Structure 1
Amino acid sequence: MPPQRVFALPRQQSLLLPAVINPFVQDTKLTKATCVLLGIFLVPLRAILLSLVLMVTWPVAVIITFRHPLKGAVEPMTGWRRFMCRKIMAALGRAYYFCMGFRVVVKGKQVSSSEAPILAVAPHSTFFDGIVCIVAGLPSTVSRVENLLHPSLAVRHLLFPVLVSRQDPDSRKNTIQEIDSRAKSGGRWPQVLIFPEGTCTNRSCLITFKQGAFIPGVPVQPVLMRYPNKLVSDTTLLLLTLCQLYTTVEIEFLSPHIPTEEEKKTPALFASRVREAMAQALRVPVTDHTYEDCRLMISAGELTLPMEAGLVEFTKISRKLQLKWDNVRKELEGFAAMASSCKGGRITIEEFARVLKLPVSPALEELFALFDRNGDGTIDFREYVIGLTILCRPANTEDVLRMAFQLFDTDEDEKITREEFTALLRSALGVSDLNMAKLFKEIDADGSDEFQAFATTHPEYAKLFTTYLELQRYQAIQEAKPGDLELAGQTSSGEKQEDSTSDKKDD
């Protein structure tokens, strides 16, 4: 049996784990005693005050929007409607948040609509973030069309939102066109306020910005939101917020970002640079998580995996490996089948061998090491997706599969018998006692087409086969120059370029 090669496997830095593993969870730190003591007095009082403010706000909103179209050929408010919206409704909005105990601190200066037609607000962590709309003078927002159907949300009509419909297949295109039209109206429309992250986080980082705010290629003013309260880190829960003596929210307007010609042509670059500037001001890292990670997290839970298993930084993975969400979701199902019996939803080498119906051997250990990017002895879902895509499927070429079939088919009768199959695998894996009944039954290769069909849907075997061939070459080098480990290690490292650095896609 050839000795196992031992050398470092260089990894592309851009595919290593992010600084913040899970930006979608929050820890509540407010004690029950504090909740009870403050809640007994504050919650009833604030509930009464909020009800009074809403009793005034709702009819005023109805009056302002009376017989003013919200769909179709929508025009910005003018005259008395605009005056009531900017003065009376803004004052009622401040009163609403004041009754909830919010203390608002505004930093920086908001520019006009003609200077920066779009406001990009981050991080988005709670529905209370709507307070930025009050501070910004009730700009236009992006909202689901269903929100306008509920009478209690009549105040949203005043923002004249850009409507998004999940039922309309053209909704995304229409939304971008409407944002572009308002952003290039020369100040006729109020500013468009957008939360470019697209979902809520725990404020520990900035996730990938969606490109909607940056496609028009107009100046964007970044707006930062901070919740510096030490009593509770989770302000998304209404009851906990009402139980606090006060909740401080800081809103900071940064200098507008005027796009370069390159950024106008590349919205993703524009979004990335705005995010980087906001992250530096917030002193937090950035990650490539998106709302799709949340969907994968939910899918992982449905498959009885830890929900964190679905957090793969979907934007980065999909961009570098050309994967779509549906494909990653399908890979998650395969991973769940392998990891179902593993504690914590991580695959060990024993489980890896059991699923492949193979014994632990040097060839299998080397394949496992290529999957195990952080070297902790287990494979998580992120490592599994990367491994399949950049290690196994590139090895699963037609030439490799044809060569494998020819090696198994020793009598050249275009069929692989169980004896031929077992004999070669015994040699490849370096074991004498090998029961291949279950695996051979799955393949049952009566022809090369059947063999290739199996190998195509099980790319791990193709990589295992090429790893075996490399080990054979490595053994030949060792036998030719006994003791020259340094030369062998260098040669093997050269042969291993596809394995260890095959994820050399441009950053």
Structure 2
Amino acid sequence: MKRNVPIARQESLVVPDVQNPFVHRLHFGILDKIQIVIMSVTVAPLRLLMAGMCLVLAWPLAALSLAFRTEEEKRKPLTGWRNVLRPLIVVLCRGVFFMGGFHWIRVRGQRATAKDAPIIALAPHSTFFDALTDVFLDLTTVVAKAESEKVPIFGTLIQFTQPVFVRREDPNSRAVTIQQIRERGQSGGAWPQVLIFPEGTCTNRSCLITFKPGAFYPGVPVQPVCLRYFNKLDTFTWTWDGPKAFACLWYTFCQFNNQVEIEFLPVYNPSEEEKNDARLFAHNVRAVMAKHLNCPVTDHTYDDCRLMVRAARLKLPMEAGLVEFQKLHQKLGVNSKQMQGYLEKFCKIAKSGQINLEEFASYLHLPKSQALEEVFALYDRDNSGTIDFREYVIGLSLVSGPANSNDTVQFAFQLFDTENQGHISREGFTQILCNAFKMNTQDVQVLFDKVDCDNDDKISFDEFKAYAEEKPEYAKLFKTYHELVQGNGHVENNGTPPKAKFD
């Protein structure tokens, strides 16, 4: 049977080129394994020891520079004697990476001054080793998670950069962070440059995900900086689904040499339109960097990572939660709380991260039929024969949501209320579903009991509407039935619309 898929494949809702930028797999060859074994008992422990010594030496110097600051001093750049130790701290921090095998760092382009480009946007962000860039920039200001402040040794060194801390769980943190970035960005070079990873989370460098607008709200010139790693075995990448932090660290220490390139692109001066629209500014800077890196862009964000984690907790594959949340939020108006609710609902239907026709039918307590297949096809946007979570969200928003109107629910209720009693009897419910949707009597009884919440052997309008809202997929079936009745002008005596209309 030819399946019709009438939902327009808008460019804004097509499946991204990169399905999962948050996964990384290491594939070791025989020689790689031999090298890691040998290096693990020879060079790597020495590298770890020497790198640790550099950290331990840098830490008290940074702590001394930050000691006894007043609240007023904390709101100003480090100056005077507090900044005297910076060159030594930077040398020791560079020593950490040198001892870890980062012997060759290629630098291309020229770094702009803080006055010419107050903000540096670095991408792609794929690993904690990206901190090397900040060390190379003489420990300029960074934007970091608030939790990093409490990390022993590293927390003090991060504080030495006078960072802008982000508290993701604090609803007011976003406004405070933007204000601090704006103040520093518009200081005319008084503050050091602010180094920002606009992607906001680590990816596998296969694409550039959505740039958060925080770095672009000040409307000041930004210098894009591209970061590349060249080792054949990518032990650097640290994503949500992949090797853990210590594994990445150890495997990297077991490499003979770790090759990195830092490339400064020309300063991007925003137009008046971009100054007034931070998201447009961010989008255009990302486009410049993606073109230079020759990689695609996607609309994945940190919210997708949270959905991945939620999916894993629901015993679904982690990638099931990847939907390009920001895109769906903008195009469909679905917020984070709704998306998590959809994911929990999806989990009840899907057994393996995909919904097939059998599972769809079972969820709706309906037998497989041509009518059901047509509704399934509306959700199955790529005609793969299954519905993933992204397709499910789009289907609910573009198919079931609009169909689940008060008029549709009212019509469906009146359709089942065959005797105009103001409620649906078990007999009327059975007659319509058995005849119109070919359900067997046993399945109808089960469904009736689910809808009849107060167990009074009749379904009120409120009960009917509540169930329709819980399972809006029914709305499209009711709407199809409604259209058949309107288009044909009558329903057959047994309650069944002419079958030809379903074809």
TM-score scaled by structure 1? 0.88
Q: Secondary structure at the match of 2:215?
A: coil
- State which of 275, 293, 303 in structure 1 corresponds to 2:314: 303
Q: Distance in 1 between matches of 2:443 and 2:96?
A: 72
Q: Point out the more displaced range, 144-153 or 318-327.
A: 144-153
Please name the residue that 1:291 is paired with. Answer: 302
Q: Secondary structure at the match of 1:81?
A: helix
Map residues 420-435 of structure 1 onto 2, 5 A cutoff.
420-429=428-437, 435=443
- State which of 176, 179, 190 in structure 1 corresponds to 2:178: 176
**2:227 is the alignment partner of 1:211:** no
* Alignment-mate amino acid for residue 69 of structure 2: H
Q: Distance in 2 between matches of 1:235 and 1:299?
A: 22
- State which of 415, 418, 433 in structure 2 corresponds to 1:410: 418
Q: Secondary structure at the match of 2:402?
A: helix
Please name the residue that 1:393 is paired with. Answer: 401
Please say if residues 204 and 237 of structure 2, whose CA atoms lie closer than 8 Å, have aligned partners that are also in contact. no
Please name the residue that 1:346 is paired with. Answer: 354
Please name the residue that 1:336 is paired with. Answer: 347
**2:479 is the alignment partner of 1:463:** no
* Alignment-mate amino acid for residue 98 of structure 2: F
Map residues 442-453 of structure 1 onto 2, 5 A cutoff.
442-444=450-452, 445-453=458-466
User: Deviations for 1:120-142, whole angstroms, at most 9, x for unmatched residues?
Assistant: 11111111100111222221112
Please name the residue that 1:380 is paired with. Answer: 388
* Alignment-mate amino acid for residue 331 of structure 1: Y
Please say if residues 117 and 192 of structure 1, whose CA atoms lie closer than 8 Å, have aligned partners that are also in contact. yes
- State which of 347, 353, 363 in structure 2 corresponds to 1:355: 363
Identical pairs, percent: 47
Please say if residues 264 and 270 of structure 1, whose CA atoms lie closer than 8 Å, have aligned partners that are also in contact. yes
- The Cα shift of 1:473 comes to 6.7
Q: Distance in 2 between matches of 1:94 and 1:62?
A: 18
Please name the residue that 1:505 is paired with. Answer: none
Q: Distance in 2 between matches of 1:299 and 1:321?
A: 21
Please say if residues 279 and 286 of structure 1, whose CA atoms lie closer than 8 Å, have aligned partners that are also in contact. yes
Please name the residue that 1:278 is paired with. Answer: 289
Q: Distance in 1 between matches of 2:74 and 2:137?
A: 25
* Alignment-mate amino acid for residue 409 of structure 1: D
Q: Distance in 2 between matches of 1:112 and 1:425?
A: 73
Q: Distance in 2 between matches of 1:222 and 1:391?
A: 41
Q: Point out the more displaced range, 13-22 or 365-374.
A: 13-22
* Alignment-mate amino acid for residue 12 of structure 1: Q
Map residues 3-14 of structure 1 onto 2, 5 A cutoff.
6-9=3-6, 10-14=8-12
- The Cα shift of 1:17 comes to 1.4
- The Cα shift of 1:373 comes to 0.8
Runs of 4+ residues deviating >6 angstroms: 431-434, 473-477
Distance 1:203 1:323, change over 3 A: same
- The Cα shift of 1:233 comes to 4.8
Q: Distance in 1 between matches of 2:96 and 2:236?
A: 20
Q: Secondary structure at the match of 1:185?
A: coil
- The Cα shift of 1:438 comes to 0.7
- The Cα shift of 1:408 comes to 1.6
Q: Secondary structure at the match of 1:449?
A: helix
- The Cα shift of 1:281 comes to 0.8
Q: Point out the more displaced range, 291-300 or 164-173.
A: 164-173
Please name the residue that 1:485 is paired with. Answer: none
Q: Distance in 2 between matches of 1:354 and 1:149?
A: 50
Q: Secondary structure at the match of 1:436?
A: helix
TM-score scaled by structure 2? 0.88
Q: Secondary structure at the match of 1:411?
A: coil
Q: Distance in 1 between matches of 2:233 and 2:214?
A: 35
Q: Distance in 1 between matches of 2:289 and 2:51?
A: 33
User: Deviations for 1:226-245, whole angstroms, at most 9, x for unmatched residues?
Assistant: 11111335444100000000
Please name the residue that 1:225 is paired with. Answer: 227
Please name the residue that 1:499 is paired with. Answer: none
* Alignment-mate amino acid for residue 204 of structure 1: S
User: Deviations for 1:317-372, whole angstroms, at most 9, x for unmatched residues?
Assistant: 11111111111111111111111xx3x32111111111111111111110001011
Please name the residue that 1:20 is paired with. Answer: 18
Please say if residues 196 and 213 of structure 1, whose CA atoms lie closer than 8 Å, have aligned partners that are also in contact. yes
**More contact order relative to length (CA 8 Å, sep ≥ 6):** 1
Q: Distance in 2 between matches of 1:190 and 1:273?
A: 24
Task: List alignment gaps of at least 5 residues for structure 1.
Answer: 478-487, 494-507
Task: List alignment gaps of at least 5 residues for structure 2.
Answer: 239-247, 453-457, 491-499
- The Cα shift of 1:468 comes to 2.9
Please say if residues 70 and 160 of structure 1, whose CA atoms lie closer than 8 Å, have aligned partners that are also in contact. no
User: Deviations for 1:188-228, whole angstroms, at most 9, x for unmatched residues?
Assistant: 00000111111111111111111110111111111111111
User: Deviations for 1:462-487, whole angstroms, at most 9, x for unmatched residues?
Assistant: 1111123445677789xxxxxxxxxx
Please say if residues 300 and 310 of structure 1, whose CA atoms lie closer than 8 Å, have aligned partners that are also in contact. yes
- The Cα shift of 1:175 comes to 1.4
Map residues 56-95 of structure 1 onto 2, 5 A cutoff.
56-69=57-70, 73-85=74-86, 87-95=87-95
Q: Distance in 1 between matches of 2:39 and 2:52?
A: 20
User: Deviations for 1:349-404, whole angstroms, at most 9, x for unmatched residues?
Assistant: 11111111111111111000101111111111111111111110111111111111
Q: Distance in 2 between matches of 1:197 and 1:410?
A: 57
Distance 1:168 1:475, change over 3 A: closer
Q: Secondary structure at the match of 2:230?
A: coil
Please say if residues 363 and 468 of structure 1, whose CA atoms lie closer than 8 Å, have aligned partners that are also in contact. no
Q: Distance in 2 between matches of 1:348 and 1:71?
A: 62
Q: Distance in 2 between matches of 1:413 and 1:155?
A: 75
Q: Secondary structure at the match of 2:424?
A: coil
**2:326 is the alignment partner of 1:325:** no
Q: Distance in 2 between matches of 1:331 and 1:167?
A: 21
Distance 1:167 1:356, change over 3 A: closer
Q: Distance in 1 between matches of 2:296 and 2:478?
A: 41
Please name the residue that 1:189 is paired with. Answer: 191
Please say if residues 27 and 234 of structure 1, whose CA atoms lie closer than 8 Å, have aligned partners that are also in contact. no
User: Deviations for 1:274-304, whole angstroms, at most 9, x for unmatched residues?
Assistant: 1111111111111111111111111111111
* Alignment-mate amino acid for residue 356 of structure 1: L
Q: Distance in 1 between matches of 2:349 and 2:94?
A: 54
Please name the residue that 2:47 is paired with. Answer: 46
Please name the residue that 1:121 is paired with. Answer: 122
- The Cα shift of 1:454 comes to 1.8
- State which of 280, 285, 288 in structure 2 corresponds to 1:269: 280
**2:159 is the alignment partner of 1:157:** yes
- The Cα shift of 1:434 comes to 7.2
Q: Distance in 1 between matches of 2:170 and 2:416?
A: 54
Q: How many residues in Structure 1 have an aligned counterpart in Structure 2?
A: 474
Q: Secondary structure at the match of 1:252?
A: strand
Q: Distance in 2 between matches of 1:304 and 1:403?
A: 39
Q: Distance in 2 between matches of 1:209 and 1:150?
A: 26
- The Cα shift of 1:145 comes to 3.8
* Alignment-mate amino acid for residue 92 of structure 1: L
Q: Distance in 1 between matches of 2:5 and 2:376?
A: 14
* Alignment-mate amino acid for residue 416 of structure 1: I
* Alignment-mate amino acid for residue 287 of structure 1: T
